[in-house]
Amino acid sequence: MCGIVGYIGKRDVAPLLLEGLQRLEYRGYDSAGIVITSPKASGLKMVKAKGRVRDLEAKVPKRFAGTTGIAHTRWATHGAPSDENAHPHLDSEGKVAVVHNGIIDNATELRAKLVADGIEFLSETDTEVLVHLVARSQAVTLEEKVREALRHVEGTYGVAVMHADFSDRIVVARNGSPVVLGIGEKEMFVASDIAALVSHTRQIVTLEDGEMATLKADDFRTYTTEGSRTTATPTTVEWEAESYDMGGHDTYMHKEISEQSDAVDRVLRGRIDDRFSTVHLGGLNLDAREARGIRRVKILGCGTSYHAGMIGAQLIEELARIPADAEPASEFRYRNPVVDPDTLYVAVSQSGETYDVLAAVQELKRKGARVLGVVNVVGSAIAREADGGMYVHAGPEVCVVSTKCFTNTVVAFALLALHLGRIRDLSVSDGKRLIAGLRKLPAQIAAILETEEEIKKIAEEYAGAQSMMFIGRVRGYPVALEASLKLKEISYIHAEAYPASELKHGPLALIEPALPTVAIVPDDELLEKNRAALEEIKARSGRILAVAHREQEKADHTIVVPKNETELDPILMGIPLQLLAYHTALAMGRDIDKPRNLAKSVTVE
Ligand code: M6R
């Protein structure tokens, strides 16, 4: 989705902003732009380009000096990708520049009024109304002009504004779309994502919804959109700038798949309590009495996070014996759900910014529900909005498709389930057994990753397929769903995922030699049932790739994964299928880190 980066200080701003935009590329975008000025300059200088940041860079003139600037990567919502629709947008006099993430819901109405007043629009974007509103404001200060303009606007925004007559400052505001300030030594940064900041400063201030800030080179202040001062104490982010580099891998996806052993080690670190065969989850803000009072758990997330939540629901039901289910947050928020005071709601999100999840959390909170967040990005909107929760500590995930965050989120759910279970009826011996299983995970993941060459060969065989089927039963079903999502996201091969138990109820009609099936076949109580499904597919000449704990006779290929405790099996079974999707897409020549039409953080509806 769209990205913002801004700087004010003494350094040459254009290279800094271009580097910041490159760090935001992973979010997905279709055009980019930059506007700069300096205290001595007479106005604003702007360059915009459809395409990649490198296309923008190529258009930037040699003499493009300045010390203040804002820049943007745009992911089209209103108007096609083009130079004109790229941000920044300028007012008619070229004095005001705005970059904006989010959507202005009443843009059509505002545009009609402005056009009736004689304003000529140069783009089809919703954002351009904002720049004209700022320019027309009669207020004296830039802060007041922006505040007045925002009063007319309905919708979501993360916005940064520059004005040629106020070249000593950048004014930013947030409502529903992230804005993060980076505090430096006599220089200030702003971005929509800390990825653009961490190579310059680790001192961060995250704006709240309804908050604005003024950045000057040696100072910043925050205040509400109503004008009252707020206190903002910078926090130090732990993520290293290097975590955003490719680290010798050809793609971020490959890097992130390869990091999973360490990532899982991190989510476990400091949380296991051997004395009581349980785990410490201090951030939940849920005491034992409250935990015992939970009658139901409802998990909400989107895409991969929803799939992780499905596994989480099964773990909670299995270990804590609390009825639990997962639902796409994007559906939940539109169906006027019954919100029950005895239900624990859990919002899952890697980015912590997914709009549908955030909107579901806000609706739940409004109705008085208790909401926990299971989130990767520290300090993100969902993490801050929730009553408590746990970070999954996967480290930055740059690739649009989620891999290590899926795995870490499932492990985080295993910890939550174990915690709730041990407060309720899970025995000490089961607690011990699961803790031992959790401790084995990093080494087992490393062992799976060592089989990459074998998986690559299988993937190259499947790379020509038009379509693929993924099946799994109970614990294996969310694994199948996630594996099929991964494959379709990056290879664009059509993929279906079904519960293996549903095969006979329809999808069996699709089985033929040209449709390979990937079957999740753990050594659990359902092994024989799963084997029967393989028989049915084989009898129809279907090709089978099994992911199993031992060779499957009916399968054309088996990827054997190490056995753990049955409840934890889904954590490991997904990993070879990430590699399968990766190598299939690679063999097909796809742009793996930037799949078409997708964005990393879906911060709009
Ligand atoms: O940041 P989130 O976990 O909230 O994102 C949710 C989905 O948009 C995300 O998982 C999406 O499905 C990814 N492309 C999966 O690879």
Mean pLDDT of 57-71: 93
Mean pLDDT of 500-529: 93
Which atom in ligand 1 lies closest to the alpha carbon of residue 602?
Answer: 8
Residue 13 Cα, ligand 1 centroid: separation in angstroms? 32
Mean pLDDT of 559-567: 97
What is the CATH class of 246-448?
alpha beta
- In the prediction, which pLDDT does 555 show? 96
- In the prediction, which pLDDT does 535 show? 93
| HEC assignment per residue over 400-444 | CCCCHHHHHHHHHHHHHHHHHHHHCCCCHHHHHHHHHHHHHHHHH
pLDDT > 80? residue 87: yes
The residue whose C-alpha atom lies closest to atom 12 belonging to ligand 1 is 303
Nearest-CA neighbor of 478 among 312, 297, 259, 258? 312
Does 3-242 match 246-448 in CATH topology? Answer: no
Residue 306 Cα, ligand 1 centroid: separation in angstroms? 8
The Cα–Cα gap between 556 and 558 comes to 7
- In the prediction, which pLDDT does 4 show? 96
The Cα–Cα gap between 384 and 389 comes to 10
Mean pLDDT of 169-175: 96
Give the CATH H-level superfamily of domain 451-605.
Answer: Glucose-6-phosphate isomerase like protein; domain 1 (3.40.50.10490)
Mean pLDDT of 314-319: 98
Q: Ligand 1: does its nearest atom lie under 6 Å from the Cβ of 408?
A: no
Active site residues: 2, 600
Q: Mean of the per-residue pLDDT values for the chain?
A: 94
Answer for the pair 491, 459: CB distance below 8 angstroms, yes or no: no
Name the band, by pLDDT with cuts 50, 70 and 90, for residue 23.
Answer: confident
Q: Which residue has the tokens 């804002």?
A: 70
Name the band, by pLDDT with cuts 50, 70 and 90, for residue 39.
Answer: confident
Name the band, by pLDDT with cuts 50, 70 and 90, for residue 380.
Answer: confident
Q: Which of 402, 408, 485 to mutate to test the pocket of ligand 1 (most atoms within 8 A of CB)?
A: 402
Choose between 461 and 243: higher pLDDT.
Answer: 461
- Could you give the residue ranges of the DSSP H alpha helices within 251-392? 252-258, 260-268, 288-292, 303-320, 329-332, 355-366, 381-385
- Helices 107-116 & 127-136, crossing angle to 10 degrees? 50
Choose the weakest-confidence range: 92-106, 234-248, 401-415: 234-248
Give the CATH H-level superfamily of domain 3-242.
Answer: Aminohydrolase, N-terminal nucleophile (Ntn) domain (3.60.20.10)
Q: Which two tokens stand for residue 131?
A: 């720049």
Q: Which of 253, 256, 299, 305 to mutate to test the pocket of ligand 1 (most atoms within 8 A of CB)?
A: 305
- Whether the bond into 88 is cis, omega within 30 of 0: yes
The Cα–Cα gap between 371 and 282 comes to 15
Q: Which of 193, 351, 492, 593 to mutate to test the pocket of ligand 1 (most atoms within 8 A of CB)?
A: 351
Which atom in ligand 1 lies closest to the alpha carbon of residue 598?
Answer: 14
**Domain spans of the chain?**
3-242, 246-448, 451-605
Q: Ligand 1: does its nearest atom lie under 6 Å from the Cβ of 351?
A: yes
Handedness of CA 353, 480, 478, 567 (dihedral sign): negative
The residue whose C-alpha atom lies closest to atom 8 belonging to ligand 1 is 303
pTM of the model: 0.83
- In the prediction, which pLDDT does 298 show? 98
Q: What is the DSSP letter of 111?
A: H
Q: Ligand 1: does its nearest atom lie under 6 Å from the Cβ of 304?
A: yes
Q: What is the pLDDT of residues 235-267, one digit of tens each?
A: 888 777 667 788 899 999 999 999 999 999 999
pLDDT > 90? residue 605: no
Mean pLDDT of 61-90: 90
- In the prediction, which pLDDT does 446 show? 98
Could you give the C-alpha distances from 195 to 98, 200, 243, 380, 601, in angstroms and in order?
21, 10, 9, 13, 13
